[in-house]
Amino acid sequence: MSKKIITLHVNGKDREVAVDERESLYETLRNELRLTSIKKGCEVGECGACSVLLNGRCVDSCIYLTMWAQGKDIVTVEGLKDETNGDITDVQKEFIKQAAVQCGFCTPGFILKAVEIVGANKPYTRSEIKELITGNLCRCTGYMNIVTAIEHAIKHNMDKLGIPYEVQPATTSFDLPDEEKEKMLKDVLAMQNNDVTKV
Amino acid sequence: MDYIGKSNLRVDAYAKVTGNAKYSADLAPRDAYIAKVLHSTIANGEVVSMDVSEAKKVPGVIGVFTCFDVPDVEFPTAGHPWSVEESHQDIADRKLLNKRVRLYGDDIAAVVAEDNVACDRALKLIKVEYKEYPVHTDARSMLNDKDAPVLHPNWRKDNIIAHTAFNSSEYFNYDEVKKNAITKYGEENLIEVVKNVKTPRISHSHIELPVSYAYVDANGKVTVVASTQIPHIGRRVIAQALNIPWGKVRVIKPYIGGGFGNKQDMLYEPLNAWLSVKCGGHPVLLEISREETIVCTRTRHPMDGDLRALATKDGRLLCRELINYSTNGGYAAHGHSITAKCAGIFKNLYRDELGVRSEAYTVWTNAPTSAAMRAYGVPQAVSFAETLTDDICVKGGFDPYKFRMDNICDENTSAGGAMFYTYGLKKCMEIGAEKIGWTKKREEYKNQTGPIRRGIGMCCFIYQTAVAPIALETSTVRMILNQDGSMQLSIGATEIGQGADTAFTQICAESTGISPDKVFIMSSQDTDVTPFDTGAYGSRQTYVTGNSIKECGILFKKKICEYALTMEEEKSLAGKKIDDLDVFENYVVDKNTKEKLVSLEKLSTTAFYSFKHNQHITAEKTTDITTNTFASGCTFVDVEVDMPLGIINIKDIISVHDSGTLINPALATAQVHGGMSMSLGYGMSEELILDPKTGKPYNDNLLEYKIPTAMDSPDFKVEFVVMKDPTGGYGNKALGEPPTVAPAVAIRNAVLNATGIGFNEFPLTAQRLVHEFKEKGMI
């Protein structure tokens, strides 16, 4: 079967790709555009590792045809970084701060789901967050710190919107105050900066 | 300590949240061929013939390779250090592709093609003719059939990989001890529990599938880039499988998406390497599916244990016995070592006044191969021991907390070369009981009726740190000073998600005096570049590699100080002797006053570019560890059981760990969360089920094989008893695996407390609960 040339709107840019009509969005984005943050965990829509945002909603790209994505706004984790100044989103920062990352393989999928959740501008409770992320599987974290990271990201957004929102207190006496984590995050981000023109 | 015990953020977190972290499949070249494996559709028998003529005709197919084409070499796959003694070597019982089929899904052929579609089409066109034999999917059924076909006649004539027994003394015999106890105490003063416990076949369910790609590099080296926990062991196994010199193999490990022990085995890497060789060294990518991962890689051993225990009516544990039948599946992989570890922990967890017997069979069967999985036989050991304890308590009317306090192993416990150099188990129990409200809730939950009941339960464990002295524990670390006073830390130990690289960075900073932001750890292992270390398993790395980093750091620091003394132009150093100097926060300082003498930046630039005294400061250290210290801990859980629905709701759960010093408390806590979650799966939902007649799996996908989702996961509480262990580099003990031991059994014991029913088959699924409650006329 001959390939078709189509245009996809990915991470803010129009990209022309040659696709087989039977191809999944997972295959096109990874193989043609080399967006390797999209991961394969099951290929049948069970694990959520291949999540991408389509018009702001998460879909499993492994069971979504590329042809259907034409004309839609596609976002992957590669597209979350601000290319002009290197900034990353509150969601990503909180995943770093709350130790919500272990092996990191499910992380891009969870981050996109969290971006969708935070973007809803709703003060979700912990149990609502758990329900919302239930289509993403993680084997390392027990979801505990992922939920905490999302709570904190929601908190930033609620603060901006002026809506009262409380995160759950820590469930271990070994947790650090948030200010200390914030300080360490600044160091982590500073380590990533190699641009002397940017302080 | 300056950098130990601090909750540094992970060194790899930024790379992972931005998608910059590259995993094996992300790195595969675009022109790599695709390989796929043909699996047997019978569980026991032989491939009589194979017709590949139609498959070869599919456009895009590069080659079709069958079990008739592979080297006539059997090789071992376990991620154990090699042994120079033949009797300690792992069992070599598998070829790259196998004519003799031992499990449903055995690897019998492989196709290499230009793309996925051609590969799939060709696989479907291969015609296979089998000769079939009767199937036995579990150890007991295999042993009970005296005419069962022998799976590996070169190794054993009876399908028993090994049969061993750990006795408290050579002459211990449960029946005789019982007879003597009756004479001494009177039968009316004794209680006995006799039962059988079964544990499930569990899939590791790391989210990254075991992926690799292989090619022959410019130097003629067979190179495999793989998602593995054990690159250096992998090199040896691949070389053995291909029958080529070990040095001709190179294994590269990029970031890996979880392993949990499955990737402590060589899985498809040897086949991948061979397929590349057969295709002229062209890159070949071998990505297996989730279904293949569940069935054709490795699983946790299902175990089936007959148990007996005798106690006095005043709450003294007299003796116990376990006879355990462990189902190993079609290939030996780790052989008997997991069942043996299970036997050891069962024996050592309690002080049996009159003795204990722990007997174990590991049996080849027509089932998925069982091998290493997080906590290596100890969840099963504790499922035996800690359900037994609560059953004794019910029968004797004992409080399970008090009974454990009176009978559990104490600080003098010593076995198999391991001992408690520090002992925090009882302190863990005290904290857990207090936090969960044990005494009050035990009282509150008495005499419940009705369909919804509350219960509280607990479970304890002990866990060896690393695998010495049973296996070699060795690790090499290399440190290199950069021109600006920062450094490279090069290790063979692997980051697999657990946070090792962050802990190593902190240990390195502590031992060298170079701050963590100037320690650049090499996260990708390459057997041609990074030094030898056996890899990530056995909760060993922070202990073994950590010790090696500490030792290397001390040597590195000494070399830096020695160089400082040659810097004549530095007036601050005039008259100083080596013993006066230390490195602290990137400066050579006066050891006593901490006065800054020269910055490492200046020192290293001088060392690199000085005409007078040119030196590239490096250090390398190999340490082997022969000590082994027990970690320990417990889980307490408060549940609500909905009896008509068979649903267990966790209302509160806390794990308390005695793991010595915590290198990084935040990451330690995160490790415990993950372990608790995994144990919840073992306890309540996970079980790979096979058709006993055909060996065919019923639920080899993540929809029907139920790992916990976020909705299934309560908020985990975690505490630690921190004691500095004298054998750990900085006082640390095992933590990677222990968290996945106790929660499942604590839940089972809480359900017993709630309903009076002691379930003896894991997991406690809704079906099992409803069935049992109905049987008992409770619903």
Whether B280 and B307 share a structural domain: no
* pLDDT at residue A1 is higher than 80: no
Q: Which two tokens stand for residue B244?
A: 């080529």
Report chain B residues whose CB lies below 8 A from the CB of A191.
Answer: 14, 517
Report chain A residues whose CB lies below 8 A from the CB of B12.
Answer: 101, 104
Whether B241 and B93 share a structural domain: yes
- Contact check, Cβ <8 Å, B18/A81: yes
Q: Which of B235, B211, B220 is nearest to B280 (CA)?
A: B220
Which residue from A minimizes the CA distance to B680? A142
Over pLDDT 70: what percentage of chain A? Answer: 99
Q: What is the pLDDT of residues B273-289, one digit of tens each?
A: 999 999 999 999 999 99
The answer as to whether A84 is a domain residue is: no
Whether A49 and A109 share a structural domain: no
What does the CA dihedral B605, B564, B621, B477 come to, rounded to 10 degrees? -30
* pLDDT at residue B737 is higher than 70: yes
Q: What is the CATH number of the domain that holds B102?
A: 3.90.1170.50
Whether B561 and B480 share a structural domain: yes
Give the pLDDT confidence score for residue B78 in this predicted structure.
Answer: 98
Whether B688 and B712 share a structural domain: yes
* pLDDT at residue B45 is higher than 90: yes
Domain with B568 in it: 474-624
DSSP letter at B517 equals: G
Give the pLDDT confidence score for residue A197 in this predicted structure.
Answer: 84
The answer as to whether A197 is a domain residue is: no
Model confidence at A198, in pLDDT bands (50, 70, 90)?
confident
Q: Which two tokens stand for residue B635?
A: 């889980």
Whether B599 and B577 share a structural domain: yes
Model confidence at B1, in pLDDT bands (50, 70, 90)?
confident
Among B209, B669, B701, beta carbon nearest to A40: B209
Whether A74 and A126 share a structural domain: no
Domain with A53 in it: 4-79
- Contact check, Cβ <8 Å, A130/B711: yes
Q: What is the CATH number of the domain that holds A164?
A: 1.10.150.120
The answer as to whether B234 is a domain residue is: yes
Count of structural domains within chain B: 3
Which residue from A minimizes the CA distance to B5? A174
Task: Kindly report the average pLDDT of chain B as a whole number.
Answer: 97
- In angstroms, the separation between the Cα of residue B517 and the nearest Cα of chain A is 8
Question: Of the candidates B232, B258, B287, which is a domain's last residue?
Answer: B287
Question: Of the candidates B624, B655, B685, which is a domain's last residue?
Answer: B624
Question: Of the candidates A79, A99, A133, which is a domain's last residue?
Answer: A79
Whether A19 and A60 share a structural domain: yes
* pLDDT at residue B337 is higher than 70: yes
The answer as to whether B567 is a domain residue is: yes
Whether B214 and B188 share a structural domain: no
The answer as to whether B681 is a domain residue is: yes
Interface mutation vs chain A, best among B119, B202, B207, B676, most A CBs within 10 Å: B207
Q: Provide mean pLDDT across the span B285-297.
A: 98
- Contact check, Cβ <8 Å, A139/B256: no
- Say how many residues make up chain B: 779
User: Is the CB of residue B197 less than 8 Å from the CB of residue B370?
Assistant: no
CB hemisphere CA count around B168 (13 angstroms): 22
- In angstroms, the separation between the Cα of residue B673 and the nearest Cα of chain A is 5
Whether B639 and B604 share a structural domain: no
Interface mutation vs chain A, best among B4, B9, B12, B16, most A CBs within 10 Å: B16
Q: Which of B94, B300, B101, B288 is nearest to B201 (CA)?
A: B300
Among A104, A137, A168, beta carbon nearest to B21: A104
Report chain B residues whose CB lies below 8 A from the CB of A31.
Answer: 30
Question: Of the candidates A79, A112, A137, which is a domain's last residue?
Answer: A79
Count of structural domains within chain A: 2
Whether B584 and B656 share a structural domain: no
* pTM given for the model: 0.98
Find residues 56-95 of chain A whose CB sits inside 8 Å of chain B: 76-78, 80-81, 88, 92, 95
Q: What is the pLDDT of residues B424-453, one digit of tens each?
A: 999 999 999 999 999 999 999 999 999 999
Question: Of the candidates A25, A53, A79, which is a domain's last residue?
Answer: A79
The answer as to whether A177 is a domain residue is: yes
- In angstroms, the separation between the Cα of residue A23 and the nearest Cα of chain B is 11
Quick one: which H or E segment has residue B72?
Answer: none
Q: What is the CATH number of the domain that holds B768?
A: 3.30.365.10
Report chain A residues whose CB lies below 8 A from the CB of B19.
Answer: 35-37, 76-78, 108
Q: What is the CATH number of the domain that holds A61?
A: 3.10.20.30
* pLDDT at residue B733 is higher than 80: yes
Whether A106 and A186 share a structural domain: yes
Report chain A residues whose CB lies below 8 A from the CB of B25.
Answer: 36, 40
Give the pLDDT confidence score for residue B587 in this predicted structure.
Answer: 98
Q: What is the pLDDT of residues B684-699, one digit of tens each?
A: 999 999 999 999 999 9
Assign B183 to helix, strand or coil. Answer: helix
Question: Of the candidates B255, B287, B319, which is a domain's last residue?
Answer: B287
Whether A72 and A144 share a structural domain: no
Q: Which two tokens stand for residue B8?
A: 């540094």
Rounded distance, CA B779 to CA B776, Å? 8
The answer as to whether B696 is a domain residue is: yes
Q: What is the pLDDT of residues B542-552, one digit of tens each?
A: 999 999 999 99
- Contact check, Cβ <8 Å, A46/B703: yes
Whether A35 and A103 share a structural domain: no
Report chain A residues whose CB lies below 8 A from the CB of B9.
Answer: 96-97, 99, 181, 184-185, 188
Whether A109 and A161 share a structural domain: yes
Model confidence at A84, in pLDDT bands (50, 70, 90)?
confident
The answer as to whether A135 is a domain residue is: yes
Contact of A103 with chain B, judged by CB distance below 8 Å, is answered with yes
Q: Which two tokens stand for residue A119?
A: 């973007």
Find residues 121-150 of chain A whose CB sits inside 8 Å of chain B: 126, 129-131, 133-134, 136-147
HEC string for chain A? CCCEEEEEEECCEEEEEEECCCCEHHHHHHHHCCCCCCCCCCCCCCCCCCEEEECCEEEEHHHCEHHHHCCCEEECHHHHCCCCCCCCCHHHHHHHHCCCCCCCCCHHHHHHHHHHHHHCCCCCCHHHHHHHCCCCCCCCCCCHHHHHHHHHHHHHHHHHHCCCCCCCCCCCCCCCCHHHHHHHHHHHHHHHCCCCCCC
Whether A163 and A94 share a structural domain: yes
Whether B264 and B405 share a structural domain: no
Give the pLDDT confidence score for residue B335 in this predicted structure.
Answer: 93
Give the pLDDT confidence score for residue B524 in this predicted structure.
Answer: 96
The answer as to whether B408 is a domain residue is: yes
Whether A107 and A183 share a structural domain: yes
Pairing of strands B33-39, B284-287: parallel
Q: Which two tokens stand for residue B436?
A: 């969960």
Model confidence at A199, in pLDDT bands (50, 70, 90)?
low
Q: What is the pLDDT of residues B598-628, one digit of tens each?
A: 999 999 999 999 999 999 999 999 999 999 9
Q: Which of A128, A132, A96, A87 is nearest to A114 (CA)?
A: A132
Over pLDDT 70: what percentage of chain B? Answer: 100
Report chain B residues whose CB lies below 8 A from the CB of A1.
Answer: none
Q: Which two tokens stand for residue B237?
A: 């196994």
* pLDDT at residue B90 is higher than 70: yes
The answer as to whether B349 is a domain residue is: yes
The answer as to whether A149 is a domain residue is: yes
The answer as to whether A160 is a domain residue is: yes
Whether B463 and B482 share a structural domain: no
Whether B255 and B305 share a structural domain: no
Q: Provide mean pLDDT across the span A55-64.
A: 98
Whether B497 and B612 share a structural domain: yes
Report chain A residues whose CB lies below 8 A from the CB of B209.
Answer: 40-41
Q: Provide mean pLDDT across the span B343-364.
A: 97
